Chain A
Amino acid sequence: MAEKRQSGLSRIRSRVKATIKSRFPGANMDYCLTCGLCASGCPATGIDGMDPRKFLRLLALGQDEEIMNTDWIYVCTMCQRCKYACPMDINIGRIVYEVRGLRPRDRRPRNLQKTCDFQKTSCSTGISDKDFVWVVNDVLEEVRQNEPEWADLEAPIDRKGAEYFLNQNAKDPTVSPEEMVLVWKILHEAGVSWTYSSKWWDGANYCLFTGDSEDFEATVRAQVETVNELGCKYYLNTECGHIYYAVREGIKRFNIPHRFEVISIVSLYAQLIRDGRLLVDPSWNSDGLKFTVQDPCKLIRQGGGDSLAEDLRFVIKSVAGEENFVDVWPNKSNNYCCGGGGGALQAGFKDQRRRFGRLKFDQLNATGADVVITPCYNCHSHIMDLGEFYGGKWRVTHLWDWIVKAMVRK
């Protein structure tokens, strides 16, 4: 047993709390009833001896040293499941974010900070804009040659006046360029007018997680201005969670002028299928492959909410067959975070991350599904890792794989 903790409080003073309050007065952190709802719903409860309620309590009691030293702030993915049901609407995720920002740079997880530093030059993996353009064109050329039925496939870059600007997570052009083709095919088949950009094209933004407001603002602003210049009506977010949140939240928080609407590609899929512009037929799945879904926190709970979650289910059911979808509980806006968000994959702390993900693993495993749809790069990576680590028998995929599989060409 550790020695009993003691604290002399002849004056209760928290510099950390005061700083957070000055930076974000709406956090409600003093409202805490210590009811423990957050702790009961948080997958990170107990990891490193911490939970959201204890974290707030340390702030309330002025225990700054402990707050500044705990690495739990990188185990917490700022998924906001706590805030979702907190009776006092305390923005715990934002408080964690601010504490991350108070850490000196040299004491932050190196890889997370490095990813943000890359981001500030346009892309999170560090590949150059020139390389991106080259990879896109190269892959396009290859498809046109090898697949005659796709000889007219397009992957436009910098096409002014296109209806949709599509972002592209840098992971694909860096390590798995063939993944990109699937989206191109879907958009092409549905006759969508779209374009990439040759700069600030990345569908990721890890400066959302380091806690430095300036970096976050600078990266969002650069991308917003790029899309403004292209004159697109929609900012189409690829199957990724955090960037959807980052762009929308950045625009709002920093009041960035923009001339487009941000929509998730999941909503667009649903709309194209509903409008009959994209024909899909689930009959390929005569063996009854079972599908379940991960609702990415930043896409659903902190993004489009239950209506976007419904779109997601509509698309899965359309391509895999209504009867082949098995839902999880809790789900939609109240889902469990997998543990890979909030920069956790970049920050390290692998053991904690896997402990965090145990709830998600158990929940997915209980569905008996063969396929887990993860319309988010971070969920995708981390749930794959959970599956390997804990012994899941399912495949983890994006949505586009199955849309292309079910797509009936006109």
Chain B
Amino acid sequence: MLLNAVIIILREVLEAALIISVFLALSQLLNRNLWWMLLALVLGFGGAYIYAVNLSTISMAMEGTGQEVLNAVLHSVIFLALLIFMITVPHQRHQQWRLINLVTIVLAVITAIIREGSEIILYIKGFIGIPDLLSPVLMGSAVGAGIGLSVGVFFYYLLVNMRKSHGIWLGYLILLLIGGSMVAQAVEFMIQANYISATTPIWDSSHLISERSATGQLLYALIGYEATPAPQQAAAYFASIGLLIMAAGISFIFRGKAS
């Protein structure tokens, strides 16, 4: 039970911790205020709680596919926020762009916490009536959260202590991969809800790196690793990364001309 709890919580915490730490580090490297993080955390946890409490209503919606659809929407919102963030970063000199940039960061962090936080609340809530299982679940959750947050702290300090330009580029790279992972997961939810037809996986690398192993979890959070991805997932993953690179590149080229 402990190991299951560790894996489930680690998966959720690691993903949220990476998004938050990369945004925190990039905000610091781009000389932004950090007050927004507190606001985003409070709103995010509030949203996660509301989501978890209303899960049954959400699940029943859209002929029983409400939860999958909402999760797909949340992942898509994170991707869109990343896309707008990357477009607005090169135009930091303009007040309006800076504001949009800040709003997208707050939006991405709130959405990530709602998505991952609600999963954690739901998972732990499921064991509250079972005293025998609650203590291993709580302990596993503490261990998973501890490992996930520690990795987040390391990433944050790695980025802020690198040479500024290197830190920004590495932060960008991680955001690209997170963006790809978000879209791939959104597609996965749509497959689960039968909005996209399921096909056989294009590869199976579970014998190399299992999704349930610690390495698998880290890779999942970092690059959206899937041992058995559907072709649509893989296509969405690479297409979204391509879109992010293209948008960021065009925005960078036109950085002096926008007003």
A and B assemble together: no
Residues of A within 8 A of B (CB): none
Residues of B within 8 A of A (CB): none
